[in-house]
Structure 1
Amino acid sequence: MSDRRSRPPRALSPLREHLRDTFWFAPALTLVCACVLWFAAAALDEEIVSYLRDERAYDELQDLISVAEDTKQIVVTISSAMMTFIGVVFSISLVAVQMASGQLTPRVVRIFVRSRISKLTLSVFLATFVFSLLVLSSYESETDPRRVTSLPFVQSVLTAVLVALSLLLFIVYVSSTLRLMQIGPVLDRITRDTFRVLGRMPAGRPGDGALPDETARIAHTGRAGVLRDVHVARLVRAARRQGVVLRLIPRLGDFVVPGTPVLAVHGGAPPARYALRYTVSVGVERTLHQDLAFGLRQLSDIALRALSAAVNDPTTAVQSLDRIVQVLAATVRLPLGTVHHRDRKGVVRLVQDVPGWEDLVDLAFEEVRRCATDTPQVTRRLLAGIDDLMLLAAPDRQGPLVRHRALLVQAVERAVPDASEREFALFPDRQGIG
């Protein structure tokens, strides 16, 4: 872990992450590729026809004309049916996603939007539709081998390949969408994304001494939204050139409005505006690119939705707690809180506030604990999770866990008057009621 923490800060690529949050880029790029592929296939078909005509291989050319005529009806059927197929498949899929978001949390829609298989399936479907339309334009009414100039033989073969690929992706896509409706795979996806954030945790080390006096503040001038990304390397570079220390005021995930201070300058004049361009990214919702707390936020939301009176699914809440404990167990020994990023000479240039251990524990347990007092399955799992974390936590990190355990016990004692039921609800069990 120490080797990973000592790496220099990785340069952020907001464009890549933002394109992953869109559903239009991959299909649009694939449509362009489909057009390029058609042009190449049409040119190859013309070369084949020209070669056979020059060699006076009219019998072979007549055979190709017959094959092309036979496949023309297939291409017509594909072009007319593919768009309807796309509409039906994705309408059903969006209904499934809507059901999953209603039962779990609206944040699971983000998993669908970022799903590579979803984008690949839509892209191939659209490419097949456009390619088949372009192939139809290559057919000629001329059937005389001596006069024919274009014959979509290669194009027809590629159309068949695209159809086969579409069918294969359809099977994979349906399987992926059905998994999205199951709580286990959704929780596993959120947890894996959270661990990827842990792999990109800020690599700064604690600073030596206090920061210089604050000399200026830089306000946010863009649109209002959630702070999603911070370009650490660029901020460090700007601070080094100016000879100052920058301090990021809001945390990742905070909502900022125009005029809100986002950077504090310590020890000198602020860097020029152009040097700070594209250093912070604001969007309409939080992402898991750098925001560690957002993973726990999603897991906690699913548990809270499961504990609501409308859903009343304590088993789902227990499964969410399983993953919450897994994430906390992975962060229990990590250095958290304020992070100091240094330049190549080891001088602190950027100070960033990340969630501390107590913040993560409160986010994970506070709301779930308040809603779980009358559900013994959840209280038992919550107690078992806290006890497991107590075994992993260093003495200086056991305080928040002890506090939440005591508050949970007190809440159950107030809510459950019967002594035997109270004893049952306060017995730690990793399965809730196993």
Structure 2
Amino acid sequence: MPVIISFMFIGGILLVFWLELTYTEYVEKLKFLYAGSIEDAKTILQTILSALITMTTLVISITMVVLSLSASQLGPRLIKIFMSSRRTQIYIGIFFGSIALTLTLLILLHDQSTFEQPPKLTISSCFVLAFINLFVLLGYVNHVARSGIADTTIERVTKELENSLARLCDNTNSQQHSEASSIPSELTQHKRDIYSASSGYIQNIQYPALLEIANQNDLLINMECRAGDYTFSGQKIGTLFPKNHAHADIEIKVVECIDIGANKTGAQDIEYSIRHLAEIGLRALSPGINDNFTAMTVLDKLSGILSAALDTDLPQHIYHDEDNKLRLIGKSVTKSDIVHSALSQIRDAGKTKPDILHHIIVIIGQISLTLKSQDAQIALNQQVELIKQHIHEYFHGKEEETYLLKAIEKYSL
């Protein structure tokens, strides 16, 4: 985006320059335009160019300092979120575009013999843009300051998580489901194991391509990994059935359908953004920060996500062919996994903080009131049992014990 904006600025100043050369008689009627010489204009433009470069360098330096301090409290992914913001990209594009525009105009003014008189409109346009940059700078500073606030970051991550959940769960309609996802007994003794060819995080598994391979070769593919898992070279990641249909070249094709990279992504990993949100809460509860209010804000956002996710049909990567023959079994995220990712670490980090435990109890109680999934309810009940252990261990015989147990009793947990 900054590169595109820079080229737009260059194109814009060239267009203004061409219009001025084409319609000189009309430009002459504008008395408020620049009225100095070309030498004076070059001197002013050189000063403006130097000032813009200095300002842009200083702004970026300050930005990285602010982001570094904020990332230490909210997590390193804050920098990625900030840099991926469209508003941030537009601001940076305006700064660099102004520099590119001024430099382009200086190049145009280099040969004085080209002009009978200075290009007043073009030079004036550059002056106006330099003035506008002062207000852009104010907006950018305000944007950076707001981006470093915990609530802003939490809200961005929550929206990203909601979009990810909606996108991934919408795909369930196009998938073929089956309750009978077990491997037929006659195939269990005739298998060929699949091993990872490289180390890294699984970013994406190309299930349609795997299904096509299984159909073409009359195979059943059982994947024992999913997006978000870390694999090392030589690790078993799946099995092909039957063995006599699974040749070495087919195994290579199957492995190529698994995209492995250095970092996790949210392409297929529902827990990716949940872990990011939970990380903010964990850092807030660390002894160095000890910000319970930020952790409770995270829990509030997670409660909405959990309520939606636990009553939604999560993607189940089980596919059949046109004859309803089982062809592909993929490892899928469960509702228990989502509950664990969202609550377990924050609960453990806040086990000595009665306000955090009470907040988790209230959230679980409110979710349970409308929850229909039995598996999800079991996972939530496990969290409640662990909270009871924390209460007995850290608040036995204290007022906090009575307070927390009454909250549990209130929601019949």
Q: Could you tell me whether the CA contact under 8 Å between 1:329 and 1:389 is conserved in 2?
A: yes
Shift of 1:255: 1.7
* Paired position in structure 1 for 2:370: 392
Shift of 1:274: 8.9
The answer to whether structure 1 residue 331 and structure 2 residue 306 are counterparts is no
CA RMSD of the aligned region, Å? Answer: 3.6
2:197 paired residue among 193, 203, 221: 221
The answer to whether structure 1 residue 308 and structure 2 residue 280 are counterparts is no
* Paired position in structure 2 for 1:191: 158
Is 283-292 or 257-266 further displaced after alignment? 257-266
- Structure 1, residues 369-400: CA drift from partner, whole Å, max 9, x if none? 22222211101101101111211222343111
- Structure 1, residues 60-83: CA drift from partner, whole Å, max 9, x if none? 499888477475555333211111
CA distance in 2, matches of 1:217, 1:166: 61
Between the two proteins, the alignment pairs up a number of residues equal to: 393
* Paired position in structure 2 for 1:423: 402
Q: Could you tell me whether the CA contact under 8 Å between 1:219 and 1:260 is conserved in 2?
A: yes
Task: Evaluate the alpha carbon distance shift between residue 90 and residue 51 of structure 1 in structure 2; reply closer, same or farther with a 3 A threshold.
Answer: closer
Q: Could you tell me whether the CA contact under 8 Å between 1:383 and 1:426 is conserved in 2?
A: no
Unaligned segments of structure 1, at least 5 residues: 1-25, 430-434
The answer to whether structure 1 residue 207 and structure 2 residue 178 are counterparts is yes
- Structure 1, residues 144-182: CA drift from partner, whole Å, max 9, x if none? xxx737964564465356546645543443333222222
CA distance in 2, matches of 1:106, 1:332: 28
* Paired position in structure 2 for 1:178: 145
The alignment partner of 1:328 has SS state of: helix
Q: Could you tell me whether the CA contact under 8 Å between 2:45 and 2:106 is conserved in 1?
A: yes
TM-score w.r.t. the length of structure 2 is 0.81
Task: Evaluate the alpha carbon distance shift between residue 191 and residue 155 of structure 1 in structure 2; reply closer, same or farther with a 3 A threshold.
Answer: same
CA distance in 1, matches of 2:87, 2:346: 33
Q: Could you tell me whether the CA contact under 8 Å between 1:383 and 1:427 is conserved in 2?
A: no
Q: Could you tell me whether the CA contact under 8 Å between 1:325 and 1:385 is conserved in 2?
A: yes
Letter in 2 for 1:363: S
Unaligned segments of structure 2, at least 5 residues: 409-413
The answer to whether structure 1 residue 401 and structure 2 residue 380 are counterparts is yes
CA distance in 2, matches of 1:59, 1:206: 70
Letter in 2 for 1:354: S
Task: Evaluate the alpha carbon distance shift between residue 123 and residue 218 of structure 1 in structure 2; reply closer, same or farther with a 3 A threshold.
Answer: farther
Letter in 1 for 2:387: L
Task: Evaluate the alpha carbon distance shift between residue 66 and residue 369 of structure 1 in structure 2; reply closer, same or farther with a 3 A threshold.
Answer: closer
Task: Evaluate the alpha carbon distance shift between residue 65 and residue 305 of structure 1 in structure 2; reply closer, same or farther with a 3 A threshold.
Answer: closer
CA distance in 2, matches of 1:369, 1:344: 46
* Paired position in structure 1 for 2:232: 257
Letter in 1 for 2:384: R
Shift of 1:346: 6.9
CA distance in 1, matches of 2:195, 2:4: 37
